Chain A
Amino acid sequence: MSYAILTDTTRCIGCRECVAACKVTWNLEGDVPRRWSKNDGLSALNWTSIVEKGPDEYVRKQCRHCKEPACASACPVGALHHTPEGPVVYDAHKCLGCRYCMMACPYGIPRYDWDSAVPYVRKCIMCYPRIKDGQQPACTEACPVDATIFGDRDELIAEAHRRIKAEPDKYIDHVWGEHEVGGTNVLYISSFDLSCLTYGRPLDDKPLPARTRPAMNAVLPTFGVMFATMGGLGWLIGRRMENAQTDQPEQEAPKDNDTSNDDQGEVNNG
């Protein structure tokens, strides 16, 4: 069973009760936006925010808690991981501050404590400790109009489709997060296009970690092949050189060509 959050932007009134609840729950101080930062309200001190797309068009931004998170796959020390309950959580004590997670996230969610000499990555963790205690996240609890609700992922997807079916004129027939990048645990239904939550380039349904997997699987074989080829070649050429030196010392020129061709062959293997 995987928990999820469904946000229905048609219900959201933009009151930011969720933002306030998040700040109170996690004891986050007032934030000063940084010059050149992404202008979406998220920061190391704002883990969720309301983005106004137009008059009466509000959309809540937060970590999408991907089922196959790019951040967790990217982290070299496994400081981010996907829990069985659904949230993607962060072990601050493992982190070394490389910020690869920030670069890897397709939604641009993880934010950094830029102003601290001991900085950590910050993002929504779907109130994991509260979920473990059997409570729901602070934001969904705080919502006065049930625009953002918490529950089982499958049930929420069913609910989303039910709402879309009930009012097909009101909603765009798409549940954001159902399939994108392998599915996310934060789902949206909306009357307006929510592709603004990602970068300019549209995302497909292939999980991002799957894109590095072929390269990573090739690492050890490449090492083995390279080690064997180079070692073998070195040994072979060395022997030939020794033989050539004892028999005929003037074998330089033709061998020159041979070896540079070999070099090309290696490059292709790499």
Chain B
Amino acid sequence: MIRWLGAALVLFAGTMIGFIQAARYAERPRQIRHLIHALQRLETEIGFGSTPLPEALARIAQALPAPLSELFADAAGQLEEGRGETVQVCWERAVTERWPATAMRQGEREAMLRLGASLGGSGKEDQQKHIRLAMAHLQAEEAAAREDQQRYEKLSRSLGVLGAALVVILMV
């Protein structure tokens, strides 16, 4: 009896791990897309609105879904607080702290950190160039993420179930 209960638990856990992994594969391109939208919005705020950076970031945070909105809200909050820190420091801290909560990987993170080094520090055209560069980088990552999704989403789901089944068979 206990053996069957254990087998059922292992099967359930394995399936869940597979599904969570699959969800991360599905989530990553979506979050990158959101990030690209956010940067597009930032470009508009800077280029046409001349909105000060803290305000622009706060506005973007409001329009984004959960894990990403916190990243932007954090950065905006730290800038508003004004402890005499530069944009780069605040941005890096927000990205590093909030990154584990997202489904995104190293490539996107580097693009964001590189953007942070130039954000706010130059004229409009220059800012737009930097943002577009980051967007291009993210678009490339998005394409790769979609490929990964197609390839691994179903695979990891079935891998979870099958792996669990294997463990169960070995156990029984």
The judgment on whether A and B are partners is no
Chain A interfacial positions (CB closer than 8 Å to B): none
Chain B interfacial positions (CB closer than 8 Å to A): none
